[in-house]
Amino acid sequence: MLRALSATALLVPALALAQGPGDATAIGLPQFVSYDLTSGGTTKRISQFSLPFAVIVPIGQRVSLDVSTAYALSQVKQGATTVELNGLTDTQVRANFTMLGDAAVVTLGVNVPTGQYAVPDNKLDAAGQIGNDFLVYPVSSYGNGVAGTGGIAFAKSLGSWNLGVGGTLRKSGEFDAFTTGTQNYRFQPADEYRIRAGLDRQIGDGSFGLGLTYSAFGDDLADTTTYSTGDRYIGTLNYFLPRERWDLSISGWDLYRAEGQQVGGTAPYENVANLSATVGFGSGAVRLEPSAEGRFWQVGGNRAGRLLNAGLRARLGSELFTVVPAATYSVGTLYSPIDGAATDVTGFRASLLIRIH
């Protein structure tokens, strides 16, 4: 599933010059996201504050270790009723091994169950609203049980193109997902198999890239009920054009989830498409990046939502740290899959990336 970039992913470029534990990097990324859904004069507000934190430690030139976790406060408010869920998420521990020069990377990871489990039934609304591929929240789940991940990736130059391919396997353990009264309900996540491929090349002074990710899932088991989320395909593209006083970035992604099985029947396929453009300008330690973004959602071939985002991001840096504040305002519409009834959407997103070099 497509989500905001993890804190550890933002740290990868730091590895190029890292030599040992003394070159460790820490990063924090507090974020706040809030959406108001208004229909028939009634408004439901779904908001989340999250604080991801990660540390990456290089061990020599070929091995690195990173640890990441997050605190999240999710809230659903409608009228006088407020449902709130807060606490730590699971902790991810990952080791990366670079081999064959820089042509291959092997990754071994484990998901440590430090998050919130056995969510009470009176808080399920807060837990369920954040797992949405259209209204993307930084933390989509507080806990996924003990899990292990292994992966390998290769990179190779093919003329003027650079090719990268990789594959991962994730195997998860059973855990208590939620509770009703005194009864805990067990959940066994399916195994996940993921294949990724990407191409990029220089075009004049700029660059262009394409990517495709395919994720295949087995059957989940919730208590005694088996169901499937459907396989997922994610395509990405990006184009970067530098100029003397400004630059332009165009990026897009498309998420297609195939039909799955849910309680009571078939879960229809869905598609979320997103296209954005960012202009960057500035010099020295200060850089500004205004952006515009459009997102469109279909379920079973019927329109399900549209969202327009306007944002502004700044980059402030020195030799010791980098600070990146950002804010985005959203407006759009959700459509009922039953009768097409419209629900107005307005939203706000703010984040503050803090990176200590």
**pLDDT value at residue 340:** 84
Mean pLDDT of 184-198: 88
Mean pLDDT of 149-155: 96
**Rounded CA separation 48/73 (Å):** 5
Examine residue 235 and state whether it is found in any structural domain, yes or no. yes
Q: What is the pTM of this model?
A: 0.85
pLDDT over 60 (residue 2): no
Mean pLDDT of 96-102: 89
Residue-wise pLDDT for 280-310, tens only, equals 998 777 899 999 999 999 999 899 999 999 9
pLDDT over 70 (residue 88): yes
Examine residue 4 and state whether it is found in any structural domain, yes or no. no
Examine residue 273 and state whether it is found in any structural domain, yes or no. yes
Instruction: Report the CATH number that the domain containing residue 93 is assigned in CATH.
Output: 2.40.160
**Rounded CA separation 331/295 (Å):** 11
Examine residue 103 and state whether it is found in any structural domain, yes or no. yes
Examine residue 144 and state whether it is found in any structural domain, yes or no. yes
**pLDDT value at residue 22:** 62
Q: At 197, give phi and psi (nearest 5°).
A: -145, 145
**pLDDT value at residue 263:** 67
Domain ranges, residue 225: 9-356
pLDDT over 90 (residue 121): no
How many domains does the chain contain in total?
1
Q: Of 21-25, 81-85, 190-194, where does mean pLDDT reach its minimum?
A: 21-25
Cβ neighbours, 10 Å, residue 259 = 13
Q: Residues with Cβ < 8 Å from 35, sequence gap 6 or more?
A: 45, 46, 47, 135, 330, 345, 346, 347
**Residues paired with residue 131 on neighbouring β-strands, in sequence order:** none
Residue-wise pLDDT for 215-270, tens only, equals 998 887 776 666 678 899 999 999 999 998 899 999 999 999 998 877 667 888 99
Examine residue 1 and state whether it is found in any structural domain, yes or no. no
Examine residue 3 and state whether it is found in any structural domain, yes or no. no
